[in-house]
Amino acid sequence: MSLTLEDVARIPRPGCSFPGKIAFTPDGRRLTYLHSSRGDLVRELWCLDLATGDRTKLFDASGGITDENVSREEALRRERQRIRESGVTHYAWARDAEVLLVPLRGTLHLLAGGARRAVDGEAVDPQLTRDGRLVGFVRGGELHVAETSTGRTRRLTGSQELTGSQGVTRGLAEYVAQEEMGRSGGFWFSRDGRHVAFEEVDERHIPPFPIVHQAREGLQVEEHRYPFAGRRNAAVRVGIVPVEGGPAAWIDVGEDLYLARAAWHPDGRLFVQIQSRDQRKLDLRAYDLQGRGETLLTEESPLWINLHHDLRFLENGDFVWASERTGFKHLYLYDRTGRLIRPLTSGTWGVDAVLDVTDRDVFFAGGREGPLEKHLYRVPLAGGEAARLTREPGMHDGIVARDGSCFVDVHDSRTCAYSVAVRRMDGSILHRLHEPAAAKFPAPEILPFRSRDGETLYAALYKPARLPAPLLVEVYGGPHVQMVNDSWALTADLRAQYLAQQGYLVARIDNRGSARRGLAFEGAIAERMGTVEIRDQTDGVRHLRSMGLVEDDRVGIYGWSYGGYLAAMCLATAGDVFKAAVAGAPVTHWDGYDTHYTERYMRAPQANPEGYRIGSVMEHVAGITGRLLLVHGMLDENVHFRHTARLVQALVRARKPHEILLLPDERHMPRREEDRVTMEARIEDFFRRNV
């Protein structure tokens, strides 16, 4: 298939429109999911009857959510959760009742017992109690609940003197929790639905960072309380309040600490994960309803503690916990007091995520078969070997029925687009929910190679019709991301496929610092971002040259976000290898990025000034001899446009030629197709002229 720039810019990618947010209904008889009938980003809510195979559309996209019709708070939450879809983008079942919640453009739709009720008005982050009796949400920066049977609403937090509009919110997660900690919620209902724990966030001491909407008519200015590395974070504490109203019992999580996670234990205690500012220590604490607590266990690491969502409670009070204490993430069983009962998994491979826990087994996804694949497994709580549930090579994810009788298998590989099937535990298929689209592009080749100091690394190659050819390297290279694996996302990288059709050899290379290879592999970048990653990328280029695949010295590199940072750093510090770079939304100096992400890897600027200096693109501008194209959205509230502006000023002072593509009405990820088409055309033209 011959590709156009419009194809490259179109989202979703071919084969990437498939059912998402899949859930078993509380009675276990049906499966609900979001999917687009048209194969685009506009989703509807569907239901599959597991007994008959019949499918029913529960909610269509009319009146649904778009980027244009949500509040700014919701738009920013969508950005931080990387949600591009529109229409029906969220729904939830009550855990123990047939009550369904569907938020649609300013209205909460509630279905229970065949009756439908609507709660109108702003409702950020709506959540149901387990019994479906109440729905909680944040309005005006304060926590509210509404009765699902009547729609009657009451406010649980706040006073007239101190409200969310003044820099204090209750029930919302702070910026770094949403963007960096994988925690989008700021309140948690107790299992019996009688109490709710909530987070109070005070950001009044953090200076506002203004973002001006330069492309809009009239003056619009956003102000964000952005905690820069080495500076003060939001002050956080946790309250517990009865859902009927009343005073809160307060939990002081400590000064300059992170509230990482919270969850209610079956015995009524609130389990809270507290992470130290330097992220080398994590305490799991348990609190009663009066706020009295104790520490059950502590995790410590000389590098950092990666947060997870793998705390799972058993009805007998025991709990499953994940830890990287061996250097690889594995699962452990504890009793209610925090006493270790036994390890559940082990080895020189990592668990990706717990899927579910029954009274006998833990179901999880992991990479036991190697870092290029992901499979689903079941391990007995009583101890023993983990049994692999999935067989097809590639990447698997899914969910498990509450009774452990079947599971949903979401599978893809380089040669097979996404498929979704409901399987029995022996692997046989109950229902095929989604068939994969036919592959229209050649699967890239995965090539292992050795770095200069003997580390095994992997590259993915998109080959043109003729070799040798000019080489373009696609880079991300940062933590928590794996670019090279046996996945359809690799094949459906249409920019790489398009550039290969234009005669380039395109390579993705996963350097040390990237994900799914263990803590030591990831930790190679500790306190020295922008160094070992570049050595690994250049080693990959030299290996391809040694194979005779690269034409002369015609080598370029491109990337976005952390990849934009590395693209600029490669041009500035490895100019003998890279002749041109496209840096999209790059971090150009780590003192301009946020606390939780930056300090995890680089420590605070005061503790590692040399690492911050060496890791800054501006420090190396004098070494730039090749050509540079900078791309940035001017509304980016994550990697501020200020990063590109600081680099441009350094380039001007050093009299270094450069090119710029500004996207005045975009944030961190370009959402408008017309902007993406323009961007892809500019990138192709830049490399044609300079590589």
Residues recognised as catalytic = 561, 636, 668
Tokens of 311: 């705390």
Closest CA to 235 of 209, 207, 260, 255: 255
Tokens of 657: 């030629």
**Do residues 225 and 167 make contact, with C-beta atoms less than 8 angstroms apart?**
yes
Task: Kindly give the pairing relationship between strand 115-120 and strand 107-112.
Answer: antiparallel
Q: How far is CA 487 from CA 36, 363, 366, 609, in A?
A: 22, 21, 15, 39
**Do residues 15 and 492 make contact, with C-beta atoms less than 8 angstroms apart?**
yes
Between CA 243 and CA 188 the distance in angstroms is: 11
3-state secondary structure 273-313: EEECCCCCEEEEEEECCCCCEEEEEEEECCCCCCCCCCCEE
Query: What strands, in cross-sheet order, belong to the sheet with 550-560?
Result: 445-450, 456-462, 505-510, 469-475, 550-560, 580-584, 627-633, 659-663
DSSP 691: -
Residues recorded for the chain: 691
| 3-state SS class at 377 | strand
Closest CA to 317 of 344, 357, 353, 282: 357
Between CA 216 and CA 666 the distance in angstroms is: 12
**Do residues 673 and 224 make contact, with C-beta atoms less than 8 angstroms apart?**
no
Between CA 108 and CA 262 the distance in angstroms is: 25
Between CA 550 and CA 463 the distance in angstroms is: 11
Between CA 6 and CA 9 the distance in angstroms is: 5
Per the listing, tokens 């009657």 go with 152
Tokens of 572: 């500035």
Between CA 631 and CA 612 the distance in angstroms is: 23
- Give CA 646 to chain center in angstroms: 27
- 649 Cβ neighbours under 8 A, 6+ residues apart: none
Tokens of 416: 């097979």
The type of residue at 511 is N
Between CA 254 and CA 260 the distance in angstroms is: 13
Cα Rg of the chain, angstroms:
25
Tokens of 206: 């953090």
- 582 Cβ neighbours under 8 A, 6+ residues apart: 556, 557, 558, 559, 564, 567, 629, 631, 683, 686, 687
Q: How far is CA 336 from CA 224, 269, 271, 314, in A?
A: 40, 10, 11, 9
List, in sequence order, the alpha helices (H) in 518-594: 519-522, 532-546, 562-573
**Do residues 424 and 430 make contact, with C-beta atoms less than 8 angstroms apart?**
yes
